[in-house]
């Protein structure tokens, strides 16, 4: 699952983004990758490991909802089922 969010434009500042990505890892779990920053610059990255797809998906949705409350808007969202 991938979610790309963007904050509303501010005068004289590039827009801010927040990206969430779920990836299956090699140790029978799932990783939630969070990346955020200003467009055109290197962003910050944080990774959290979860034992199951359901736990990781729940965490992704909680982070997405928190960012929407902070003023971000969902620009792109693509779903994915576990394999």
Q: Distance between CA atoms of 22 and 14, rounded to whole angstroms? A: 26
pTM summary value: 0.85
Query: CB-based contacts of 38: which residues, under 8 Å, 6+ apart?
Result: 13, 14, 15, 16, 17
Instruction: Answer whether 76's CB lies under 8 Å from 60's CB.
Output: no
Task: Residue 46: count other Cβ atoms within 10 Å of its Cβ.
Answer: 10
Q: Which structure tokens are listed for 8?
A: 């509303």
**Topology of the domain comprising 2-78:** q64v53_bacfr protein fold (2.20.140)
- pLDDT tens, 11-50? 787 889 999 999 998 888 999 999 999 988 889 999 999 9
Please report which helix (H) or strand (E) contains residue 6, including its range.
Answer: strand 2-7
- pLDDT tens, 43-62? 999 999 999 999 999 999 99
Give the pLDDT band of residue 82 (cuts 50, 70, 90).
Answer: low
């Amino acid at each position: 699952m991938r979610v790309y969010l963007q904050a509303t434009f501010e005068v004289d500042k590039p827009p801010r983004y927040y990206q969430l990505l779920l990836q299956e890892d090699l140790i029978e779990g799932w990783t939630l990758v969070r990346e955020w920053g200003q467009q055109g610059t290197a962003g910050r990255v944080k990774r959290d490991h979860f034992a199951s797809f359901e736990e990781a998906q729940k965490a992704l949705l909680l982070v997405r909802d928190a960012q929407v409350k902070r003023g971000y808007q969902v620009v792109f969202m693509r779903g994915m089922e576990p394999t």
